[in-house]
Amino acid sequence: MRRGALLLAAPLLLGAAKPVLVPDVSQREIEIAYSFTGARLLLFGAILYPRGRTPGEEARTDVVVVVKGPAQSIMVREKEKIAGIWINAERTRYRSAPSFYAIASSRPIERIVDERTRAIYELGLSSLQLSPASGAVAAEQARFDRGLVDLKRRSGLYYEDPGAVEITDDVLYRAAVTIPARVPVGRFTAETFLIQDGRVLAAATREITIRKSGFERFVARSAERASFAYGLAAVALSVAFGWAAGAVARRL
Amino acid sequence: MDIYLPIANLSVNALVIILLGFGVGLLSGMFGVGGGFLTTPLLIVYGIPPTVAAASAASQVTGASVSGVLAHFRRGGVDVHMGLVLVAGGVIGAVAGAGVFRLLQQSGQIDTVIAVLYVLLLGSIGGLMLTEALGAIRRLRTGEPPRAGKRRHHPLVAALPLRWRFYASGLYISPLAPLILGMAVGMLTVLLGVGGGFVLVPAMIYLLGMATSVVVGTSLFQILFVTAAATLTHALTTKAVDIVLAALLLVGSVVGAQVGARFAARAKPEYLRLALAVMVLLVAVRMLLGITWRPDEIYTIELS
> In chain B, positions 107-126, which contact chain A (CB-CB < 8 Å)?
108-109, 111-112, 115-116
Which ranges of A164-226 does DSSP label H, i.e. alpha helix? 214-225
Interface check for A187 against chain B (CB to CB < 8 A): the answer is no
Cα-based distances in Å from B24 to A16, A91, A189, B35, B37: 69, 36, 43, 5, 9
Task: Check CB contact under 8 Å for A235 and B236.
Answer: no
Other C-beta atoms closer than 10 Å to the C-beta of B16 total 14
Angle at the Cα of B1 from the Cα atoms of A252 and B3, rounded to 5 degrees: 100
Helix (H, G, I), strand (E, B) or coil at B14: helix
Helix (H, G, I), strand (E, B) or coil at A59: coil
Cβ–Cβ < 8 Å for B52, B8? yes
For residue B241, tell me if it sits in a domain. yes
For residue B244, tell me if it sits in a domain. yes
For residue B299, tell me if it sits in a domain. no
The domain total for chain B is 1
Query: B295, B289, B293, B304: which is closest to A147 by C-alpha?
Result: B295
**Tens digit of each residue's pLDDT, chain A (252 residues):** 445 444 444 444 444 467 888 888 888 888 888 778 888 899 999 988 877 777 666 677 889 999 999 998 888 888 888 888 888 888 888 888 899 999 999 888 888 888 888 888 888 888 888 878 877 788 888 888 888 999 899 888 999 998 889 988 888 999 999 988 888 888 999 999 998 888 888 888 999 998 888 888 888 888 888 889 999 999 999 899 888 887 887 777
CATH 2.60.40.3880 fits A18-212, yes or no: yes
Interface check for B39 against chain A (CB to CB < 8 A): the answer is no
For residue B232, tell me if it sits in a domain. yes
User: Cα-Cα-Cα-Cα dihedral of A94, A98, A100, A102, to 10°?
Assistant: -120
A67-99: b (≥16 Cβ within 10 Å) or e: bbbbebebbbbbbeeeeebbbbeebbbbeebbb
Interface check for A37 against chain B (CB to CB < 8 A): the answer is yes
Cα-based distances in Å from B147 to A87, B21, B134, B138, B201: 45, 38, 14, 12, 20
pTM, full prediction: 0.76
Q: How much of chain A is helix, strand and coil, in % rounded to 5?
A: 35, 40, 25
pLDDT tens digits, B154-202:
666 666 667 777 766 667 777 777 788 888 888 887 777 777 777 788 7
DSSP string, B63-80: HHHHHHHHHHHHTT---H
Sequence-separated (6 or more) residues with CB below 8 Å from residue B33: B27, B195, B197, B198, B201, B219, B276
Interface check for B98 against chain A (CB to CB < 8 A): the answer is no
Q: Domain ranges in chain A?
A: 18-212, 214-245
